[in-house]
């Protein structure tokens, strides 16, 4: 399946205020990127809900976080994360602890089973990613990781500041 280059070859004859070509290319690519990533998630079964995996990652990095903190980091409504945490607790991947200083919320903590589940899912995902990027140069892989990280960081905070 061939690919026609995005915006470069389109002078945008309309009244578009001459946006920089790299921005035009990004607008196009990001639009489709979501679809690709969503499709990947739907087709491959990683054994753990993606939502759960993301939360477990956050808890691996920093245990004992509140529901609200977690929600902010995954850019979801707190009510959604509440349900996800409930399901994860049901599954034995996390527990809820009381915060003696503030009994409104409490902390979510990852269990040993949660760590193991996260590791299993990560391994499957690593295999996938590895095969998907097999014929990329190491330099490109590194660059893509670096830039995606940069984008992720900017977006995460941008949504929460608003």
Partner DNA sequence: CACAGATATCTGCAGGATACACGAATGACT
Partner DNA sequence: AGTCATTCGTGTATCCTGCAGATATCTGTG
Considering only the stretches 83-91, 112-120, 136-144, 147-155, report the one whose residues sit in contact with DNA under the rule CB under 7 A. Answer: 83-91
The interface partner of residue 98, options being DNA, a second copy, none and the CB cut-off 5 to 8 Å by kind, is none
The yes or no reply on residue 76 touching DNA (CB under 7 A) is yes
Partner that binds at residue 102, options a second copy, DNA, none, CB closer than 5 to 8 Å by kind: DNA
Residue 102 binds DNA (CB under 7 A): yes
Residues 6+ apart with CB under 8 A from 41: 50
| Residue numbers 32-71 binding DNA by CB under 7 A | 38-39, 42, 49-51, 66-69, 71
* Cβ contact 86:101 at 8 Å: no
What are the angstrom distances between the C-alpha of 90 and each of 36, 83, 87, 144, 155?
Answer: 31, 10, 5, 37, 31
- Count CB neighbours of 45 within 10 A: 8
For residue 22 the two structure tokens come to 């790299």
Region binding DNA by CB under 7 A among candidate stretches 8-16, 19-27, 73-81, 142-150: 73-81
Q: What does the binding site for DNA look like in residue numbers (CB under 7 A)?
A: 38-39, 42, 49-51, 66-69, 71, 75-80, 82-86, 96, 101-106
């Amino acid at each position: 399946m061939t690919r026609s280059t995005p915006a470069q070859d389109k002078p945008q004859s309309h009244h578009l205020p001459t946006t920089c070509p790299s921005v035009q290319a990004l607008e196009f690519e990001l639009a489709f990127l979501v679809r690709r990533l969503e499709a990947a998630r739907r087709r491959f079964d990683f054994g753990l809900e993606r939502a759960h995996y993301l939360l477990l990652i956050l808890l691996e990095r920093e245990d004992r976080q509140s529901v609200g903190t977690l929600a902010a980091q995954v850019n979801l409504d707190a009510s959604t994360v509440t349900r996800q945490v409930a399901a994860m607790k049901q599954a034995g991947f996390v527990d809820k602890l009381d915060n003696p200083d503030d009994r409104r919320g409490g902390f979510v903590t990852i269990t040993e089973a949660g760590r193991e589940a996260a590791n299993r899912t990560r391994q499957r995902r690593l295999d996938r990613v590895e095969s998907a990027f097999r014929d990329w140069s190491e330099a490109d892989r590194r660059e893509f990781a670096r830039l995606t990280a940069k984008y992720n960081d900017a977006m995460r905070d941008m949504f929460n500041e608003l």
